[in-house]
A and B are shown apart, each in its own frame.
Chain A
Amino acid sequence: MSERRRRVTTIAKKELVEFVRDWRTIVAILVIPVLMFPVLFILFPLLLQAEAEELDSLVVRVELQANDPPSMLLHALEQPGIDLVVVELPALENLTDATSDVERLRAGQLDALLRVRANNSTWEYATLHLSTSEQSNEARARVLSAVADWERNETTTRIESAGLNANNTLNPVVWNGSIADADAASKGEQAGLALSLFIPLVLAVWTFSSAIQPSIDMTAGERERGTLEALLGLPCTRMELLLGKWLAVATITAAGVLLQIAGLIFAIGYLATSDIIAVPSLSMAVVLLLCVAVLLFAITVVAIELALAMRSHSVKEAGSVLGPAVLLILFPALFTQVINLDNIEMFWFAIPVVNVLLALRELLLNRVVLSHVAVWFLSSALYATLAAVYAARQFKREDIVTTLS
């Protein structure tokens, strides 16, 4: 191993050892990413399901205010989950007029109230509920469902009493066949489309944000603690120092991103068993290009973060610069989600950040458009080089040795 490479790896190893010894950072950068997608895709839906089941098992108190309630409505409301009370409708101009009923709703004496009255040949109705109460919302949903059943029955009765077929009259145009079979895209391609809407965003934001803490610690942190001066007196060049630190931050970031992808693959695998989403079908060339795109992006991001952190006199100053800088990734990432990939203009693939995000989106759709690949690859390589040159300039500054303390 050459002297230069040995020094670079010595610096990188030391940075990694220091990083590993701080368990809080390990949790933030390595444990959270591996759990993020399983929690989002598996635990969160399970939690929602459990909550929905809990709501389903509730018995809600509903008061029906009507002078002569229609039997079909009463029939629709008489179900196990509704504790129904029928009372006379008071004299009201509008059915939504606030009365003492509102106070009863707020006090939790009843969960929803349905007011119904006849107006010539039509029925008027209104529901009162408390939108800040889950139980009241559930009661309202059940009441509206019952009203919809009643309305459907009422409509059918009226159409048939006019001598018409209710089904043909209400649904004169109907779909025939399987909706799934009508899509020319395979299930794997459909899965790729679904994932392309958020994976680029998550990858980009995570790559940037996971590099922030180690970048600051290894530059502004060293500067603040006064360890940098001792290091600059050693027989290693500042470029070696930058390379060593870059290698360490890139390793940590790559580990975080890879763990996040592993968590994602695990979550997709789990969901695929329940037919919620298929495994995206990606060719080997696409997988390789995905890795190249993320790698070039990581090179650029880490170099810029190291440079900006090295410019800062303290950890606090570096944090106040790099923290808001996440928005420089987040906004283009959100914007990129709405760009139409069909017939897309070439220049989009040359815009910093946007180019990599679009490349990821296109690749997740299993599309390899050579002209697009050439533009995003060359532009990303150029930005990575510029970022590296900028970082090198920051590391060569004489004032990096001065500290606020």
Chain B
Amino acid sequence: MTQPMLVAERVSKAFGDVRALEDVSLTIGEGEIVGLVGSNGAGKTTLLRLLAGVYRPTAGSLSLGDGTDVAEGRRQLGVVPEATGLYSRLTAWENIRYHSRLHGVPDDVAWTRTQHYARLLDMLPYLGRHTKGFSRGMRQKTALLRALAHHPSMLLLDEPTAGLDVTSARTVKQLVRSLGDEGKTVIYSTHQLAEAEQVCTRIIIIHNGEVRADGTPEELLALTQTASLEEAYVALSSDRARSVDEAEKPLSAWSRRWRGLFTPRTPTSTEVSEDE
């Protein structure tokens, strides 16, 4: 393996009674493009938020390759959350510049880098526009430019192609591959196995908060004795996926009772069949 960029040792994260992540250990090297693959609620976003320093682990430790705690080493990270997080009353460039300034990067340096990547993403003509009218693809590309403007060594991308049209998704995937070629480490969450296979050099399958497999596509096939990644995924996540949003606080007893007063009772399957 290349020089380690990120080390997670026995990391767990709990929200109240819900164990969102359980005993995750990973070492991610420089230049790797790692795909985090899992169903909704598997723990991908929780892991990315832990890596971004937004959440603190309940147990275990997370550090960058040089031993710095991730929360302290955020300057090395570029983050694209699933919601993109753009301010609609600011232009694309203002959004990018705002984050760059908080990273301590001078405006002229950020502008030069932004121009470079904006050319690759066909976003140059739109940098001066307010993001309010941007399509999902343009928002995603702007968020990518924002994450790259301070020259991070590692990128955390939460479902960067979700909701994008084919052309935009292709452009984003090409950029991610070229970032890997530049030596940047990319951690890429998706629930599209085919996409992970196209883009990533390594795939981590997360299911119900646990790492079920970690390796190259070939290694996963060998591990599961299957012919395709889809079959491998099914074999590794055969137990029923949980349906809870791990970070959502459960309703209090009072709220549950109050809401129940205004919620009609859903008929049981027996009642429905009797009516029929």
Chain A positions near chain B (C-beta within 8 angstroms): 3, 6-7, 10-11, 14, 17-18, 21-22, 225-236, 398-399, 401-403, 405
Contact = CB atoms under 8 A, between A and B. Distances in A.
Given A18-B89, A235-B74, A402 B248 contact: yes
A236 B81 contact: no
B109 to A, nearest CB: 15
Contact of B53 (A17, A21, A233): A233
Contacts of B79: 230, 233
Interface string B129-171: 0000000000000010010000000001000000000000000
Nearest to B104: A3
Contacts of A18: 87, 89-90
17 contacts: A7-B101, A7-B102, A14-B98, A17-B90, A22-B89, A229-B49, A230-B79, A230-B80, A230-B84, A230-B85, A231-B85, A232-B54, A233-B79, A398-B54, A401-B55, A402-B247, A402-B248
B103 interface: yes
A3 B102 CA distance: 9
A227 B85 CA distance: 4
B83 A403 contact: yes
A228 B177 CA distance: 28
Nearest to A240: B102
B104 A227 contact: no
Contacts of A226: 81-85
B101 A10 contact: yes
Q: How large is the interface on B (under 10, 10 to 19, 20 to 34, 35 or more residues)?
A: 35 or more
Given A233-B54, A401-B54, A227 B86 contact: yes
Nearest to A9: B101
Given A18-B90, A225-B85, A401-B247, A10 B102 contact: yes
In the complex, which of the residues B53, B98, B103, B143 has the most CB atoms of chain A within 10 Å of its own CB atom? B98
Given A233-B81, A234-B74, A398-B55, 12 more contacts: A7-B101, A10-B101, A17-B90, A18-B87, A229-B54, A229-B83, A231-B102, A233-B54, A234-B103, A398-B247, A401-B55, A402-B248
Interface in B106-134: none
Given A233-B53, A398-B56, A402-B248, A21 B98 contact: no
Interface in B157-196: none
A231 B79 CA distance: 9
Contacts of B81: 226, 229-230, 233
Nearest to B103: A235
Contact of A233 (B15, B77, B89): B77
A305 B95 CA distance: 26
Nearest to B78: A233
Nearest to A228: B85
A235 B54 contact: no
Given A230-B84, A233-B74, A235-B74, A21 B89 contact: yes
Interface in B61-83: 74-75, 77, 79-83
Nearest to B70: A233
Nearest to B76: A235
Contacts of B15: 398-399
Contacts of B88: 225
Nearest to B249: A399
A4 B46 CA distance: 28
A7 B104 CA distance: 8
A233 B83 contact: no
A22 B87 CA distance: 13
Nearest to B146: A230
Contacts of A228: 85
A243 B82 CA distance: 26
A234 B102 contact: yes
A371 to B, nearest CB: 45
Interface in B5-55: 15, 49, 52-55
Nearest to B77: A233
Closest 10 CB pairs of A and B: A226-B83, A230-B85, A233-B79, A233-B52, A235-B74, A227-B85, A229-B81, A21-B89, A402-B247, A232-B54
Contacts of B212: none
Contacts of B103: 234-235
B90 A14 contact: yes
Contacts of A233: 52-54, 74, 77, 79, 81, 156
A401 B20 CA distance: 15
Interface in B227-246: 245
Contacts of B89: 17-18, 21-22
B157 to A, nearest CB: 12
B186 to A, nearest CB: 15
Contacts of B143: 230
Nearest to A18: B89
Contact of B102 (A227, A235, A403): A235
A403 B83 CA distance: 10
A148 to B, nearest CB: 61
A230 B104 CA distance: 16
Contacts of A232: 52-54
A235 B75 contact: yes
A18 B94 CA distance: 11
